[in-house]
Amino acid sequence: MSTVDTQSLMLQMRSLAAQAQSKPVDPLQGIQSVEAAGKPENFAQLLNSSIEAVNEQQNLSKEMKESFERGDPGVELSEVMLQAQKASLSFQAMTQVRNKLVDAYKEITQMPI
């Protein structure tokens, strides 16, 4: 079993964090925009594609973790950790969207007619 140089790992993580902070993040990455598609996309399709994108992030994270645990030489710990964070953040964002949708639904159902 190989040992991990913690100082080197920390330096890599700090440099990756600095890179992540300097780049603007597209929250809809992986989702095809309405203009690019050339056809209008309804809300259900947009929500479904968002959920599928989150699922892909989760599956990729799982696969990378399993590859790292098997000792695959092509998988670095830093890559595994970054993908796990991406999957976690995308899931948290999806959860927040769901919460807002539930709140909006409750508000609409309580409106007087």
For residue 112, what pLDDT band results from cuts at 50, 70 and 90?
confident
Q: Tell me the average pLDDT across 60-64.
A: 94
Q: Are 80 and 14 spatial neighbours (Cβ–Cβ below 8 Å)? A: no
SS3 call for 69: helix
Q: Tell me the average pLDDT across 80-99.
A: 92
Q: Tell me the average pLDDT across 27-51.
A: 65
Q: Which residue has the tokens 């830093």?
A: 78
Distance CA 90, CA 50 (A): 9
**Separation of CA 82 from chain center:** 10
**pLDDT tens for residues 64-88?**
999 999 999 989 999 999 999 999 9
Which residues have CB under 8 Å from 36's CB, separation 6+? none
pLDDT at position 42, please?
Answer: 81
